Amino acid sequence: MLLTPLAPLFCAALALASPLRPRTGGPVIAKPTANTAIQPNESFDFLYYSMSDYGRSAYNTSIWLFSTEVGSLQPDAKTDTLTTGHFFGRFSTGNYPGNPYPAHPVPTQLTMPDFSKNQGGFGSGKAAHDAPMYLAVFEEWADGSGTLGNKIAYVSTPIIYNGTKAN
């Protein structure tokens, strides 16, 4: 069969690309899975495995959507822009005793904005189709090692904004 020589490679790639089991400590975005097509206004499942664990306290978790991979971000002096995207919010992992901010748990669903809409003021939107974007999570956490402020975990996963659904 034609695909057979490629099958081991494919399986290896899958194993690398699907860290679906919570490790001892995150950060893992289990949902949406990589390259999921998400439509404007669509509510989609979100599942994040926190850094929290025995000996580790996780504090707040901030969720963003960027049109560029964060690792490659450089402010553009001409446009005064680091990247474009959306801030979904800062939420509480809520795993530690005395959590002062338990009322905003990390959501299990997020809603994709419609970026084609004028936001009011001078901000105008832009239509796009099959646009790669990156859902990014920053999690503040700490352990007994003593750090200058919290440790900040980071993970991102690519999604396809206004992408063609597979079925």
- Kindly list the residues in this chain that would bind ligand NAG in the complex (CB under 6 A): 40-41, 59-60, 90, 92, 101, 114, 116, 127-129, 162
DSSP state of 16: H
Long-range contacts of 77-81 (CB under 8 A, 24+ apart): none
* Residue 98 to residue 63: CA distance in whole angstroms: 23
Min. distance of Cβ 129 from ligand NAG in angstroms? 3
Give whichever of 75 and 125 is closer to ligand NAG, judged by the CB atom: 125
Give whichever of 30 and 128 is closer to ligand NAG, judged by the CB atom: 128
No. of helices (H) and no. of strands (E), the chain: 1, 9
Min. distance of Cβ 120 from ligand NAG in angstroms? 13
139 and 26 Cβ atoms separated by less than 8 Å? yes
Give whichever of 108 and 116 is closer to ligand NAG, judged by the CB atom: 116
